[in-house]
Structure 1
């Protein structure tokens, strides 16, 4: 089953706030409402591994805050997404409100699933680039790879594709070094 578009008219954050709680993930990308089923157990395990590896680093360095889905990130009234993992730097913590995040996080991770791969690789990547997310990882559990994109001169550039026991470092979270094997368990 793939993500489905559910409207043909422009959807706004006001419309989104009134959606029923149906157990599905809802997001608005360029005014189109997307709906996907809950993530798989593999997806959730990878996401938890990422959180367990990154959160202690962020806390120890008091560099900001890490949050995991579901959390609404409001990029505009017609762009509301729920990334799998977000990091907001200490000096920008004011964008985190009681209900959501109201600007682009500094770093975003999307864990691919068969339902979201096209959206994560195309629509969301373009959206994150447009809103100047500094670093974006696409984590592929089926291929056991991580693609690391870094914003340079207003566009994403592939910095590395990592797999196996290869180590890589975050640009935004300086001195954070991980191995792909640690993420995929």
Structure 2
């Protein structure tokens, strides 16, 4: 049986607008709607980022779905992205062209493998400065900084702890992120 041809940005752009797919390593991967708790977590992080980044004119914050074009075989829709002021040229009408400064992925059962392995490798390769993994089930946040040796864990906290983003000069209280209700 012949191998299927890898999909490209050209194929991705043929999909109807709003299609629930990402292009990961040349394959279309469906992204089902996340849970309500996932959405609440994303919203709370977005609100903090918006208040501190956009209101202070340090950059722009986007939430899913927004396309991040990294190469011909990788177009991702991270949960949240931050593009700082000096990277503003990356923001185009169709999405973000190139690596954002910060990418935040909130894990869900359908996306965990891609977020923890495949997408993480591509984000590192293309120069995302900071990569966050937010785990609603374990109530943890891990922040990885890109270095010559790949992503290095620089901050980690659980439930009622705090994490600090060096890139954003911003502290996050996990109580605010993971509160119920």
TM-score normalised by structure 1 residue count: 0.91
Aligned match for 1:183, one of 173, 177, 180: 177
Which structure has more relative contact order (CA 8 Å, sep 6+)? It is: 1
Q: CA deviation at 1:48?
A: 0.3
Written as runs of structure 1 = structure 2, the 5 A alignment for 1:22-171 is 25-171=20-166
Give the RMSD, CA atoms, in angstroms: 1.5
Cα 1:60–1:166 shift into 2, 3 Å: same
Q: CA deviation at 1:140?
A: 0.4
Where structure 2 has 5 or more consecutive residues not aligned to the other structure, the ranges are none
1:60 & 1:116 partners in 2: Cα distance?
31
Q: CA deviation at 1:97?
A: 0.6
Aligned partner of 1:4 in structure 2 is none
2:121 & 2:171 partners in 1: Cα distance?
26
1:117 & 1:142 partners in 2: Cα distance?
11
SS of the aligned residue for 2:177 comes to helix
1:116 & 1:138 partners in 2: Cα distance?
11
Aligned residues: 177
Q: Which digits, 9 at most, give the CA deviation of each residue in 1:27-66, with x for residues without a partner?
A: 1112111112111111111100100111100023311000
Aligned partner of 2:12 in structure 1 is 16
Where structure 1 has 5 or more consecutive residues not aligned to the other structure, the ranges are 1-6
TM-score normalised by structure 2 residue count: 0.93
After the TM superposition, which parts of structure 1 deviate over 4 Å for at least 4 consecutive aligned residues? Answer: none
1:24 & 1:80 partners in 2: Cα distance?
13
SS of the aligned residue for 2:108 comes to coil
Q: CA deviation at 1:24?
A: 5.1
Q: CA deviation at 1:181?
A: 1.2
